[in-house]
Structure 1
Amino acid sequence: MPRPAPYSFLFKPAAAAGLVGLADLMLFDHEIGWTLGLAALAFPLTALALQPALGRNRLALAALLAACAFALVQVERPTLVGLLLFWTCLCVAVLAPRAGRADDVWRWAQRLAFLGICSPLAPWLDLVRLEKARKRAGPRRRIRDVLLVLILPIVGGAMFLSLFAAANPLIESAVENLRLPEIDAPRALFWILGLIAAWAILRPRTRRKWLPLPEGLGTLPGVSAASVTLSLLVFNALFALQNGLDLAFLWSGAPLPAGVTLAEYAHRGAYPLIATALLAGLFVLVALQPGSPTAEAPLIRRLVVLWIVQNIFLVASTALRTLDYIEAYSLTRLRIAALIWMGLVALGLALICWRLMRGKSAAWLIGTNAAALGAVLAACSLVDLGAVAAHWNVRHAREVGGRGTALDVCYLRGLGPAALVSLAELERRPLPAGLADRIAWARDEAFEALARDQSSWRAWTFRGARRLTRTEALVAQTSPRSPLPGPRDCDGRLLPDRVPAAPAAPQPLTSQPRP
């Protein structure tokens, strides 16, 4: 790789300050909106401008394009997951010219971790290197020499100024009115962290030696073909018992024993069974490494395949438990995330089985799982899980003829603008008077919050604008009622010690124009 021009280093401090200044203007002490995407987009473009080698490396160029795509996702709707994916792609891009073509995910994980750990120290290490370079340059003055030159005029000037202030009341008054500028501690911290992040991208640090990925742990004490065979027989029998009970009660719909409800049976087993599946996968990774005597035994291989199939069925039963619980109660962001996690666990178990049967390496297993996780996170950065939960709840609530529980207005209100369109759609249905009043109150709160954010040019987002437009169209098709005035609890019910006044005339919903 060609060496950079000697003057290229001088542009990077100014570029780092410019990036942080742009982030300060767009983000600091303001609501986060599309400006997060604009500030993020400046980072890969600046890195490409100051490091031309990024454009000549295929991996770096692909990672830069991915980083720009995730930055544009923040213009659509800022999310923490999308921001983390953006930063990961950007770090991969700036490190790619220094990496080997055959590096696996394990080595890249070490490289990214090293960059994160060394980033806070990188500016100071570069200052030390710059000072050493100046020493080798010869007659140029060093920073220490410049400071020594300034000591005498500064100290002497301060001494004479104090004497003149004592002798002249005008000078004394002027000196007393001098005030140092106040330091804004939060903004100073924002600038420090921003400069560290920008410097890590413009001057990334890496190393040449990495920890190798262990392909095997050797022969473990007490682990033999006989012990593994007996263990797999016991494990298969226990899993068959659990899966048989799930088949009898979850999948077939048979009535549970007296005193046990479906909600209790479904909810209690979800997380322990996922932990069981993870422990099973760990056992296969440790005790049955590809190429080991235990992994080559035909009986053990068949028992392992049977056991992993039972584990996958166990994960499917766990997902069914969660779905039954959702149908009986309601859908939340956390329950959606739990279902996604169960799918990843099932995929990981299938990949472990495939690795054992095909003799794949540990690097292949880690890389495949990392690719699956990245794809899922990318999808989650695009989809608003809160809006998905709100849409499902308003369509399956008991009040609208669904099989679920009563509508949880408190949870919908907590979702904020994510539930706005669903609340507006729910108002079009025939509802009891009390529920209609609570829905109108929750919709009003969500609409006002979103309209307030959209009125700010920094907090404006494409998705927020579409939600306002959709809500106004839905409300225009109906005759929305105005909620009764008065204080309410979280669920929208009026507090009993207040008598509501007569309802006001319906007011049309309007939003601020797009900037």
Structure 2
Amino acid sequence: MTSLHASLTPKAIAALLLVASADFLLFGQPDGIALPLFCGLIVVALVATAARGAARVRRVALVLAALLPMVEAVSPLSMTVALFGLAAFALSLSGRLQAGLAGMTKQVGALLLGAPLRLPRDMMRARKAAKRVRLSARSGTIAVWTLSVALGAVFLALFGAANPIIDRWLALLDVWLLLDLLSIGRIVFWLVVAALVWALLRPRLPRLPRWLRRKAGAGTTDGKSAVTHGSAGEAEDAGAPTLRDVIFSEGAVLRALVVFNALFAVQTVLDASYLWGGVALPEGLTYAGYAHRGAYPLIVTALLAAGFVLVTLRPGSALSANRLVRALVYVWIAQNVVLVVSSILRLDLYVGIYSLTYWRVAAFIWMGLVGAGLVLIMARIALHRSNEWLLGANLATLGAVLYACCFINFATIIANYNVMHNREITGEGYALDQEYLRSLGPAAIPAMDLFLERTPGMEGRMVMEREIAKQDFLARQQNWRAWGFRNWRLARYLDKHPVPVLVPAP
């Protein structure tokens, strides 16, 4: 199983590239120079994935000579010669080609006859190997990129939801158009090409019938060799790292941090251009739409980033001691802090157009807490503190913020903001939502008075609603149990302003 792991990744990549090249060069195209060109690409792939020193100049010259007839004209005969040359070349690179034309012909025939089964057999072996708990170092090459690709795709999706510019870029990738290009014939073509090139990239001779094995003399030796390699592979796998160790290894985390910093840099540059730099947005996109899309998805992105850092950079681990990892983490957390600030600015722009509510105030506070949490994570890494310290610091920050919020009259702040920024007073923005203003209770009475004073002739039902809210409040204050410093301040205001100031309309 070790030999399979050692050669699987580069040859699998080469096979995928060759299938893609065959689709571009051959599928649905007329016969001509494209076929020998594709065969030349197979030669390049065989040389690139072969062991060092295997691809001698003489062998390469011979296989290129086998391709020359197809350059003259593509015919069944020239294709047969080319296929024979490619198969013989693949066997020679693997060290399995026998001397003599008769033995060579038998081996090439056996290789080509077994080609349809080579790919399914290796896929089954790879599947069995994947079920094992432990992996070899070479087989972890793909696993190393798992973290970068998986979480990077999540971040890209969140940026697409948060940023309409990135969303437009992603929309250019028309998945449905790609699906329309698929057909049964095309898929069969891919499978045939994949089976052929895989058999050439991993040339393994099938077990021949007994009467042929006596002549070939290769049956017993190969079997013993296979057993020996298998036991050696199992011995090597016994001390191999686990899948989790590979996915969260130093190399995997480094790759992930590079990918994440690059993705976040794109978002940061876009926000710096459109939100901070005043660059004009693309046609059909407003600042309100740009701001509305990004406030909350970017906070989710920051939380995922914080979770990634906490999971991968555990105190005392080797990753925490790696200077390059720490530097990349600092840069990434700094970008997350910038994104949190950008989210706050986006929400501020959105509130300026669609008014302020309790939930939007809570969102401002939540974003501030997320930003503080990111700074505390950076402090934990720099000061070499434990996760318990980080948890305590976050709880202390949360407690201090919640304690301070107890002394803030958010209803009055919301009411005053909505009154001072509505269309009736400023001439732009949103129309005052009087229903929501009344739902804020007696605390909105000073804001109602301000609105009535600034908009003569537009009092409508607000005067009556103000009087109802006032009477209900004063009735409750008759009971001494309802006293509170905030209520006392409102009662003093109502004593000084028993009725609103109504300025006659011009």
TM-score by length of 2: 0.49
More RCO (CA 8 Å, sep 6+):
1
TM-score (norm 1): 0.48
Which structure has the greater CA radius of gyration? Answer: 2
